[in-house]
Amino acid sequence: MERREAWPSLPFAEWRDTAATLQLWTQIVGKLRVRQTPWLNHSWHSALYVTARGLATSPIPHASGVFDCEFDFVSHALVIRADSGERRIALRPRSVANFYRAVMDALTRLGMPCAIDRIPNELPDAIPFDRDETHKSYDEDAAHRFWSVLLQCDRVFKHFRTGFLGKASPVHFFWGSFDLAVTRFSGRRAPLHPGGVPNLPDAVAREAYSHEVSSAGFWPGGGAIDFPAFYSYAYPAPSGFGDAKIRPDAASFNAQLDEFLLPYDTVRTAADPDATLLAFLQSTYDAAADLGKWDRAALECALGEPRRPRAV
């Protein structure tokens, strides 16, 4: 098999339609977790996870057993597995409505029928999944490159996560906003979130931001920006956050989004992509923690190393 570059190019304009379709497909699968899984703080029960072949749920409980789902971006199929069997749904140019019907049929044939909320989340002018014949693009190469980027981001984000002793999220993929994220918490309550996210109940947003955070992630583009980028924000943003000095120099504060952005291509083309990305993650966290007066001595530690337990 041809070896792919570790940090491949991913110009958003070239796969915009595929990204829009794939986001909706991931929402269908993510909503299966929401429907079947007890609520976990900050909606962590709903997310997907990067795997060696794509994006997957963890095991999902059902009255008839357990199943899981994985978007396999190597063989280009959604694989639904249960002890009663396995079903594969081809990832190819097909409408969201067609994909929705295929998923529901596969679960029924496995003896695990599910019903989900058919309205997409966090998207304006959302079309119900079962009626969406508009979004129907799938470029295999672009989807594979997207997953390849997520693999690298997942690895670096997980390394960054090891430097924090306080409460921290898993590295996980939120299908509503279509981004990979990792979040650190100060331990203090946050002001009530204003809500107002399109097609997302305010109660969900307020629970997600119930406590102070410094959050970072990767977003392939769309909406306010038309390029893939790493982001970092604080909620609530402390005074002076947007004026903080951040590394590397290519990073900047986007006032419209109220967060720092670092173009993906800056990392991809750097002599040391890992170090460049870690500098962004660390410096934006430093700004949030210092300006927000977090108890850094109690919350932080050195980055973890393989096979070396931390001294206590």
Neighbours of 218 (CB within 10 A): 24
Q: Tell me the mean pLDDT in the region 32-44.
A: 97
pLDDT for 255 equals: 96
What span, in angstroms and rounded, lies between the C-alpha atoms of 102 and 79? 12
Name the pTM for this structure: 0.97
- Is residue 101 packed enough to be buried (19+ CB in 10 Å), middle (13-18) or exposed (0-12)? middle
Strands 229-235 and 252-254: unpaired
Share of the chain above pLDDT 70, in %: 99
pLDDT for 224 equals: 86
Residue 250 pLDDT > 60, yes or no?
yes
Quote the mean pLDDT of the chain.
97
Nearest Cα residue to 24 out of 133, 114, 110: 133
* Contact indicator for 295, 187 with CB cutoff of 8 Å: yes
Share of the chain above pLDDT 90, in %: 96
Residue 5 pLDDT > 90, yes or no?
no
Q: Tell me the mean pLDDT in the region 264-287.
A: 98
What span, in angstroms and rounded, lies between the C-alpha atoms of 106 and 87? 6
pLDDT for 312 equals: 82
188-215: b or e for each residue (b if 16 or more CB lie within 10 Å)? Answer: eebeebeeebeebeeebbeebbbbbbbb
Q: Tell me the mean pLDDT in the region 166-180.
A: 98
What span, in angstroms and rounded, lies between the C-alpha atoms of 126 and 112? 27
pLDDT, tens digit, 9 for 90 and up, residues 81-126: 999 999 999 999 999 999 999 999 999 999 999 999 999 999 999 9
The helix-helix angle for 12-36 and 140-161 (nearest 10°) equals: 60
Longest dimension (CA), the chain: 57
What span, in angstroms and rounded, lies between the C-alpha atoms of 282 and 276? 10
Residue 2 pLDDT > 60, yes or no?
no
Q: Tell me the mean pLDDT in the region 35-39.
A: 97
Dihedral pair phi/psi, residue 307, rounded to 5°: 65, 15
What span, in angstroms and rounded, lies between the C-alpha atoms of 6 and 146? 11
* Type of residue numbered 200: L
What is the separation, in whole angstroms, between the first and last Cα of the chain?
A: 45
Residue 183 pLDDT > 50, yes or no?
yes
pLDDT for 206 equals: 97
What span, in angstroms and rounded, lies between the C-alpha atoms of 89 and 102? 7
